[in-house]
A and B are shown apart, each in its own frame.
Chain A
Amino acid sequence: MLLPPGSYGYISITEPDKPTVERDAYLCCHCQDLCIVVPGSGKTRGYCYLCYAPTCGQKRCSERCVPFEAKLEAMEGRRRFYKQLELDRQGEPLG
């Protein structure tokens, strides 16, 4: 799987008396799950051709494209709406 240069994050696991394990990692563009790249693992990941970025491979992220930024805006929009109606996060009247 190819990503544009600089798109990978990085993880390292250091342990006494063992070599340091270093791996590339990226966040799913739909859910922001941390995906660690392990060459030869056989782990199936996905790719969104609308976001032009890899996904975690889970069904909920593969079957439709909802960029994570859109999800954040929806969460914030719900909160603003409830606030305007003077409701708490569960939709119950404040106070």
Chain B
Amino acid sequence: MSVAKYTASGDQTLTSSKVTCLSVGSNATTAQRNEIYECVLGVTGTPADNAISWTIIRVSALGTSTAETPALLQDGDRAAQAAVGSNHTAEPTLVTNGEVMKLLPLNARATFRWVAAPGGEWKHAATVGAGFAFRASHASSTVDFQAIAYWSE
């Protein structure tokens, strides 16, 4: 059975405390599970040798952000139901011990890509507000960073 696949990206400006650039989760009306099978992390600003600390964490509420419209990866599929936001102004509510990728230090010049094995995708519960947040921080750099997520519903 074919599943619908979507992608979206989000960016944010680095600060010394972790901020969220992208959140993907269950929408407020029709809760559903989303399965993230690929993500790309990087910096969109002027590259420099800074070690940016990334984390991807489960959330129970998606915070306040700019709504993003996911793109379909397969023509003919329905529009995405996932609630996707970028450039958060209010951080999502983080789940305690909910990190699925802990504190990955990544040079600002580098691009990181993860692809899941079939059946090995990140999944969240079909509850309103549940999802994932892509976050990063740096002690002094204030460049813009970006995350791209690919998921199936």
Contact = CB atoms under 8 A, between A and B. Distances in A.
Instruction: Tell me what chain A mostly uses at the interface: helix, strand, loop, or mixed.
Output: mixed
A95 interface: no
Contact of A13 (B101, B111, B115): B111
B126 interface: yes
A66 to B, nearest CB: 13
Interface residues of B, number: 34
B116 A14 contact: no
A89 to B, nearest CB: 7
A78 B42 CA distance: 37
Nearest to A68: B123
Contacts of A10: 114-115, 117
**Residue among A10, A26, A34, A79 with the highest chain B CB neighbour number at 10 A:** A34
Contact of A14 (B101, B110, B124, B126): B110
B110 A13 contact: yes
A89 B125 contact: no
27 contacts: A6-B117, A6-B118, A7-B117, A7-B119, A9-B116, A9-B120, A12-B112, A12-B113, A13-B106, A13-B111, A13-B113, A15-B111, A16-B47, A25-B114, A26-B117, A32-B123, A33-B102, A34-B114, A60-B97, A72-B126, A75-B125, A75-B130, A76-B125, A76-B127, A79-B125, A79-B128, A89-B127
